[in-house]
Chain A
Amino acid sequence: MSLTDQLLAQNTVKLDSKIPAGPMADKWNSYKDNMKLVNPNNKRKFKVIVVGTGLAGASAAATLAELGYQVDAFTFHDSARRAHSIAAQGGINGAKNYKGDGDSIHRLFYDTVKGGDFRAREANVHRLAENSVDIIDQMVAQGVPFAREYGGLLDNRSFGGAQVSRTFYARGQTGQQLLLGAYQQFSRQVGLGGIRLFNRTELIDVVVIDGHASGIVVRDLVTGELQSHAAHAVVLATGGYGNAFFLSTNAMACNVTAAWRAHRKGALFANPCYTQIHPTCIPQSDDSQSKLTLMSESLRNDGRVWVPTNPNETRPAHEVPENERDYYLERLYPSFGNLAPRDISSRAAKRAVDKGLGVGPKKNGVYLDFADAINRLGREVVEERYGNLFEMYERIAGENPYEQPMRIYPASHYTMGGLWVDYELMTNIPGLYAAGEANFSDHGANRLGASALMQGLSDGYFVLPYTIGNYLAPMLNKAIPGTDHPAFKAAEEEARIRFNGYLASGGTKSPDYFHRELGKIIWDYCGMERTEEGLKKALSDLPALYDEFKTDLRVTGNGESMNQTLEKAGRVDDFFQLGMLMCKDALDRQESCGGHFRAEYQTEEGEALRDDENYCHVSAWQWGGDPMKPNLNVEKLEFEEVHLATRSYK
């Protein structure tokens, strides 16, 4: 009996993925044909809470409001236009086959399952590939100024892990343009009264009554006031948890609090160890650094990655002769070359730097060189494609990438793990949904480039508006608990005690100090390469540091006005608890797959070695009252359409 089957027999929570029957290509249509509907005139009787206004949240809120539901939308930002979806640079995939190069929905589906190292749920991925086509249409209709060719048709480029050109882009600001498109659609609904917007308001707790998600408790960040909001359904579109590493490409305020508070209320957290390290970020320059900046992966279309063959090389890059350079991605992965997927490119960079071949003042990067592209295409074309990225690099690194190669190094960027959801994107708590990066479902153990934007918009525009209706239809005219229910009062009281506790802790160190130390532990032991020994060390260091956090934290200011130190304390608290779960999950998964690389499980060439016999499952963790003692539940992954194979990009 495989480990998966043994674990399956021990599940304490029933995990029904609700995958529709029928052939893979028909499942989503068959779901839509059979789902329950809410009459247009009855939709206004339902209230839906959407937390987060990034791509997934804004598109879900706008669409639900267009359908006629009452929507309350919450963001901790000052405006719905700020979420970190905005920083995605490279593009969004769509299986349009506009280039006639053999793309299809099936091929995008296949690439995504393979890219995820066969650890995603097939049916979800197929639906994502189907929706990708509609997303492009929808966003063009919203006025997103995608790049075009001279004939006026849309332009495409290729991205890591794909051999076709299916990526639509708007200069290096695709995420910004898509988010603004969704934000404008969302704002139209705010203006029309379909959406009530609560800005500078942070989710503090999820309220579950009789097993159903009944609402949320939020904190007004300007006044510190706690408020309860009741609804028929709650959507968490609150992003990923990459800031657990402290240094990451995430925005400063990105946090796990919403997902974590839902987890503590019973929602299972799936595959927390699946984190993505992006290969092309600007290396750390000094110890006070607050975040790392990503350079779009699209740069790898024209840039060539190399390191000098001599570890003691001191000459500037352009003086190093060709025969003393190692274009290691082109050498190791000839068919994908510089476009090898992110996990593979990241580990290759780490190996080069670990061997002492790193470049730059701290020898902590590799070159991404555009000299060939500039010779081949001319500076003007390179500038048109990547001009704003080059400028950004120059501002940060103080070097001109037209004249000397960029220096890049991997950094934490995206988290594939997240709240466990079924095919309807509902967590195991009825009425509680998770969308976009906050859920776990579509990317398996590794996400391909230009797929995050696609997933956020697919979930928000084309999945939730259907599946939420299916849940709400039977609730028509039935009363739901209001905010005067004792469960809301209890959640508010618990939150009050927690925040007062941070203010009263009277220690000596700031939340930022603890975040930095926490991040170092997670990066060192649960980063690009993990070992049993390291993870065990992390699992002894983390609780010790967490104890120190609880006794030696200092939060200045008060709880009745804007207090960013206090906000940070709450977020760091949740990162501590999540960090323990990440390490626990990484230790438990005794195989390597995608972004989860356990040094003990690798092929002779140093590639990830999966164990399909024992680990072809989703690890969905249940809160056990103590962050060090979660309970494991599993969902077995069955592959009907894609043949399980060793992932090769050679």
Chain B
Amino acid sequence: MSHNLKNITLKIWRQDGPQAKGNFETHVIDEITDEASFLEMLDILNDKLVHDGKEAVVFDHDCREGICGTCSLMIDGQAHGPQRGTATCQLHMRQFQDNATITIEPWRASAFPLIKDLMVDRSAFDRVIESGGYITAETGGAPDANLIPIPKPIADAAMDSAECIGCGACVAACPNGAANLFTAAKVAHLNRLPQGQAERYSRVENMVETMDEHFGSCTNHGECEAACPKEISIDVIALMHKDYRKAKFANRKDLARK
């Protein structure tokens, strides 16, 4: 049964722009139903701020179903908050207690420059995908979908890593701001499939090198896996490293690389 939470103190990061100085702003929510989602709490706060003639807190969000990957937020120092396997938009106030103080910050990573308040620019992820996170199959020439059977365990494993929503929690949680989990999830998705074999080694090389241009290095902390709202296993990073090494040692003439 639902009940109302009382006296929630929010410490929210406010910052006008990437160059501006930021600070924490404190707001108190006197009462809120625990059925409300975390972002609905911010909606209510924003409505009040606008009503009081103040500027609303800027934060990214969209589907509120945990699938689009738009929402972010460090909540009490944890990417997407305290509930494991849950994006911020699916976090509900029933996870909190009366009189709680909740600190809300943006993703903090040098590859994700701040835009305003709690919103950051995650375009570096798109650059990684553009460099090789695809299978080249231009429209029109595809063979029948059942031509190549894919063993179910392989299809399932590919799907496990394809579930990544590109939210950036892995980068935000990583002390080095590394994007290995994000990059490896895509490599593992495509490199496991028969359709992905033709570009297997060029893909991993290009993606890893683009990743390194933007993000920090992985030192196996494992924070990314703990923060991932889709609970993608850190094993994919091993797979990426294995393929990267193979790509470097592979007979380059045979691979017809560019």
The chain A residues found within 8 Å of chain B, CB to CB, are 59, 62-63, 66, 77-84, 86-87, 96, 98, 134, 136-143, 145-154, 170-171, 173, 175-177, 180, 183-185, 187-188, 190-191, 197, 199, 222, 251-253, 285-286, 288-291, 293-294, 361, 391-392, 395-396, 398, 461-462, 465, 508-510, 512-513, 554-557, 561-565
Contact = CB atoms under 8 A, between A and B. Distances in A.
Interface string B139-169: 1111111100111100110110011011000
B137 interface: yes
Nearest to B48: A510
A556 B2 contact: no
Contact of A554 (B36, B50, B155): B50
Nearest to A388: B163
B159 A171 contact: yes
Interface string B120-137: 011101100111011111
Sorted from nearest, which 4 A-B pairs have the closest CB atoms? A152-B149, A191-B130, A184-B134, A141-B137
20 contacts: A59-B139, A63-B139, A80-B126, A82-B70, A137-B145, A142-B134, A148-B152, A151-B149, A152-B152, A152-B155, A187-B126, A188-B136, A191-B130, A290-B39, A291-B64, A398-B35, A512-B50, A554-B53, A562-B58, A563-B58
A79 B123 CA distance: 7
Given A141-B135, A141-B137, A191-B131, A565 B50 contact: yes
Contacts of A361: 1-2
B52 to A, nearest CB: 9
A136 B145 contact: yes
B54 interface: yes
B55 interface: yes
A430 to B, nearest CB: 25
B65 A392 contact: yes
Contacts of A188: 130, 134, 136
B183 interface: no
B17 interface: yes
B35 A286 contact: yes
Given A152-B152, A153-B149, A513-B47, A78 B60 contact: yes
Interface residues of B, number: 82
Given A145-B159, A557-B56, 18 more contacts: A79-B126, A81-B69, A82-B63, A82-B69, A137-B145, A142-B135, A145-B156, A173-B67, A187-B126, A187-B133, A188-B134, A190-B130, A199-B126, A252-B64, A395-B66, A398-B35, A556-B50, A557-B55
Nearest to A252: B62
Contacts of B144: 137
B54 A556 contact: yes
B94 interface: yes
Contacts of B151: 148, 150, 152
Contact of B139 (A66, A252, A289): A66
B122 A84 contact: no
A508 B51 contact: yes
Nearest to A83: B68
B99 to A, nearest CB: 20
Contacts of B62: 77, 82, 84, 251-253
B149 A562 contact: no
B69 A222 contact: no
Given A187-B133, A556-B53, A293 B65 contact: yes
Given A251-B63, A556-B54, A564-B56, A138 B90 contact: no
Contact of B92 (A62, A142, A180, A396): A396
A392 B90 contact: yes
Interface in B47-100: 47, 49-51, 53-56, 58, 60-70, 83, 85-86, 90, 92, 94
A148 B150 contact: yes
Interface stretch (B171-179, B188-196, B246-254): B188-196
B82 to A, nearest CB: 13
